[in-house]
Structure 1
């Protein structure tokens, strides 16, 4: 048995407005009657919904109260009054009275014929699935044919809108219009006019389940909008918006809409996989381009001629950046989420870059959830552009991206160096407390070469070479270490060391003799000098 709440929740009945207030709407609903008779309660079964224009109450709405009482005694489910013909509006006193006696009072707009409304509600109540199933399968067959014909999203949405008799908008996961029905071509307001009225909270709700929203049209009048999530993956859905769903004609049912959405989901999934197959070719090319072992061979290959399709151009400026998402702690173990996030970042960059950075080539890193940007012209503001890109994506989605850049080079053959530098920049950012959105490469120096060696091994090496001078705590040993470092920095020249430390030459000689006694070796031996320099650098606190 159907209940009133189920009927009011259907998109086709979204223009019916419940005026009265009730703790629940679980009243059974078995039939519908149209009447203008004040004593109809004597002739109706229980669990019926009464539809009326309230013609006989147009001059005195107070008389509706006894009518409401009689319907309540007859266990009527609800009273629907059509406004705009005899009653312009339903009196607030009548609404309050219906709330008090617990009889749902429903406002029916003037655009809704009572006969058509009765037919649709009765059809739903009688569970006449045959007609609805037939319509649903016809829609599925029609859209499956379109799918086999490889139509694009624009054509699909146009056909869908014709069937539903309602304007439709298809949005990307970052809420940009992908396609819309023909309604918006001749309309004063574009599809974006309606999208701008939806907040981030609206989309967060819609990502979970189907929702009904109320927006304003170009005449500043309220309209209903039904939103449906299109789940191509489990985490970042597309969005389908249907304006004025009450215009959807019978017998198109929720099931029919679900069938169309299923085909649309498959079409978007298919298009995504086709695009990914082309990206795999680009990724293979990128692997060869960045392979340092093929660097010498690459000079004999005309990469630019062979790979024009990958947006590489002849230039004297090549700089590589790695784009990566900052995974939240709760998603660090969710491999599928990270894959979906990486793919979405790539798709978003693919859409945004051609307009703002036309000379940038975009690739995906193989077996990683990261993307590669290759800058092929020098721009003074490209760092600011990357910063703005990251901010725009974060406004649309719960995704944070960062850019790790290498140095720029004049030749394409040197791009592997820029990649190594970008990778080093990325690795350094993973250990930073507050890494910047756009990170530039900074040479690590000698100590950077030993970053991946364990701390214990580094300390052992320093103590073997410097003995008591490795990590001194006594002031005398600290002064000896300081003098030794300056002495080696000036290539073992006593005069320069003395001048730098404002000491007498004999003091420097004495201290170096003390160092040699502690170390048990000659400081000026080339190999010893090198090892001491390395140990001093690594043991700096």
Structure 2
């Protein structure tokens, strides 16, 4: 864009004089117009250089102050006045008011007609914009050529940096430096200065900041992903020379976005092959048909190593309160995977991450023992919320010592995760524990176990009369005391003979010897189950 300062610095407009000293000369001009009416506010475009003879204000410069206020609110770039026609001088209070607003007042020379000034400035702006357009197209052609030649993102950034003659930094969606131009190889001070601006100035205010081409540093979003952008930091922007423009940087950013997206899809496709192998490992109890010990190179390609320690952790994204569209879910999955990979590999390069057919879950495989892995999972839960609006939960399986047992640790971790999720928990970290019989019983439908209770206990399954209830209670305590008559009689406060009688009665009703190991186990199970299910 052309600024007031640029126009006034040109030789052809050297007779145009700035009337007020505190004007903002960085204001941009996109068009030029002429008016002699004071009510043009609603019919004027932003960044217009407005020219006038000010004939309506020759006897009332107070009204000129109001006119300036209205133009500034549009905002108009500046007001050019041909003083020689009617006003001849501008009152001090008008100049002071314009200074307070930073609003430029420009004197149009007597030998310039307003139409001539309009044509000359408009022609310059048009030519200027045309040259900038050609420059932007050249940038686009160069970037597209690099895309076709499959240049890496790093090489593209360095080529762009050389072409623009500006230091460039590409920051990933997790606010870490992805690539820098060669300018920073021997200038860590400049790199730190740029990242300090990014973290302390840009990020807290990015919703309200506009790019200022007169500043030293500017940040542009690179939308390789719709919801999780990269960022291009351009340094030494104040040294940029004509015909650089916002359009040129936009063309470069579009090409970078495509290159980043392409690289991401390539990584995702490669990961799908890795995920397929992992799925085959967790879906078989016989291990891989290919021996890990005999083919270590094959498995290294899939991030698997020979070890005496394996542990699977299921990491899941907790559901949000809002309805999620498919594009967001897909991007979140890909970016969460890349984020987990970057932070976990930093901790231990032998930690592997796999997808297994669920857009909200990941399997983390530890292949070395880590004493503080639970604490690190807690750390991940906190860090994740800095970049994503959801939270993470973890289900942790037991360690196994053999590669062929990975499926066991995986199933334990997945079961732990799913049970905690079923209970409505979020942002949890749960370690697998074996289920007791009561928990296993809850997995079976009552209509499947009730026939077993009836066939084993008969009328004692769900007794309705007092006599049968006493018999069942005595049998229960007798079995709990390992068929010890004395302990049973002491517990229910009856004579030993009474206990014997009741047990004999139970055996008559059940038609089995309760001391028999097989029948004893069935009776114990049936008694336990009858206490935990409802009788229809």
Q: Same fold (TM over 0.5)?
A: yes
Paired position in structure 1 for 2:103: 105
Query: What's the CA shift string for 1:329-384, capped at 9, x where partnerless?
Result: 3246x444333222222101211122212332222224544222221222211211
CA contact (8 A) 2:391 2:427 kept: no
How far apart are residue 503 of structure 1 and its match?
7.1
Paired position in structure 2 for 1:397: 388
Query: What's the CA shift string for 1:264-289, capped at 9, x where partnerless?
Result: 11101111111122212211221232
1:28 to 45, 48, 52: 45
CA contact (8 A) 1:14 1:245 kept: no
The reply to whether residue 428 of structure 1 matches residue 419 of structure 2 is: yes
The reply to whether residue 212 of structure 1 matches residue 229 of structure 2 is: no
CA contact (8 A) 2:171 2:179 kept: yes
Compared CA separation, residues 31 and 462, structure 1 to 2 (3 A): same
Compared CA separation, residues 188 and 526, structure 1 to 2 (3 A): same
The reply to whether residue 178 of structure 1 matches residue 170 of structure 2 is: no
How far apart are residue 142 of structure 1 and its match?
0.6
Paired position in structure 2 for 1:139: 139
How far apart are residue 525 of structure 1 and its match?
5.7
User: Which range moved further: 375-384 or 508-517?
Assistant: 508-517
Paired position in structure 1 for 2:338: 347
Give the SS at the match of 2:311. strand
CA distance in 2, matches of 1:320, 1:139: 48
Give the SS at the match of 1:373. strand
The reply to whether residue 379 of structure 1 matches residue 364 of structure 2 is: no
2:435 to 444, 448, 455: 444
CA distance in 1, matches of 2:433, 2:123: 72
- In structure 2, the gaps of 5 or more residues are 5-23, 29-40, 81-92, 106-117
CA contact (8 A) 2:396 2:412 kept: yes
CA distance in 2, matches of 1:166, 1:452: 65
Give the SS at the match of 1:179. strand
TM-score in terms of structure 1 length: 0.69
Paired position in structure 2 for 1:230: 222
CA contact (8 A) 2:202 2:219 kept: no
The structure that has the greater radius of gyration is: 2
How far apart are residue 443 of structure 1 and its match?
0.9
CA distance in 1, matches of 2:309, 2:184: 44
Compared CA separation, residues 342 and 30, structure 1 to 2 (3 A): closer
CA contact (8 A) 1:30 1:125 kept: no
Query: What's the CA shift string for 1:136-166, capped at 9, x where partnerless?
Result: 2211111112223333333323333444454
Give the SS at the match of 1:316. coil
CA contact (8 A) 1:227 1:240 kept: yes
Paired position in structure 2 for 1:328: 320
Paired position in structure 2 for 1:7: none
- In structure 1, the gaps of 5 or more residues are 5-12, 18-23, 34-39, 47-64, 82-92, 108-117, 215-221
Give the SS at the match of 1:105. coil
**Structure 2 counterparts to residues 9-158 of structure 1, below 5 A:** 27-28=44-45, 32=49, 42=53, 69=65, 72=68, 77-79=76-78, 97-98=97-98, 105=103, 126=126, 130-158=130-158
Q: CA RMSD in A?
A: 4.8
How far apart are residue 425 of structure 1 and its match?
0.9
CA distance in 2, matches of 1:44, 1:364: 75
Paired position in structure 1 for 2:287: 295
TM-score in terms of structure 2 length: 0.70
Query: What's the CA shift string for 1:492-522, capped at 9, x where partnerless?
Result: 4445656777876445445545766887876
CA contact (8 A) 1:164 1:247 kept: no
Q: Figure out how many residues of one structure are paired with residues of the other and give that number.
A: 467
Query: What's the CA shift string for 1:191-219, capped at 9, x where partnerless?
Result: 4322321576546x38xxxx4279xxxxx
